[in-house]
Amino acid sequence: MILLGIDPGSRICGYGLIEAQKRVITAVGCDVIDVRNIVSLPKRLSAIFDSMESIISDYKPDAAVVESIFYHRNAKSVFTLGQARGVIFLSLGRHDIPVFEYSPREVKKAVVGNGAASKQQVRYMIEQQFKLKGSEKPDDAYDALAIALCHFYKLRYIK
């Protein structure tokens, strides 16, 4: 089973893929979709959609796991993030990929053991789990791996 974890963003969107074979998990890859240099929101959303289509085509995930929205003080940021999530969900839906959602707190609790963990703690645990020490991938890519790992842990306990 290949799980695609997504840390959605309207400027930087992290993605990470893990492969689960029984109880053994491997990081297949992780990176970010960086659209900060695109000024127009519609063009950024289009670029995110195109990148998602390419990732899905390349890796053929069995399921996707998306971090849910946490509320900012800035309502405009929440709406923009919602639009980015919309194009991500559109891409996943077009390929009939089941989608699961977890809050940032749930992800941190599952991966670190503390729902209030820092980004550095999440990164450290992902580096340890997948032996990625020294990788220069952005935090958003590691967060996406953590999101996928959270779902793997939930699946393991459900069965």
Tell me how far CA of residue 122 lies from CA of 33, 133, 144, 150, in angstroms: 20, 13, 10, 11
Buried b (16+ CB within 10 A) or exposed e, 105-140: ebbbbbbbeeeebeeeebbbbbbeebebeeeebbbb
pLDDT at residue 75, rounded to an integer: 75
In this prediction, residue 152 carries a pLDDT of 93
Q: Would you call 136 a catalytic residue per the annotation?
A: no
pTM of structure: 0.93
pLDDT in tens, the chain (159 residues): 999 999 999 999 999 999 988 878 999 999 999 999 999 999 999 999 999 999 999 999 999 999 998 766 677 788 889 999 999 999 999 999 999 999 999 999 999 999 889 989 999 999 999 988 777 889 999 999 999 999 999 887 655
Residue 19: active-site member: no
Which residue of the set 7, 31, 34, 96 is catalytic?
7
Instruction: Look at residue 137 in the predicted model and tell me its pLDDT.
Output: 87
140 is catalytic: yes
pLDDT for 158 equals 56
Question: What pLDDT score was predicted for residue 136?
Answer: 84
From 67, 96, 101, 143, active-site residue: 67
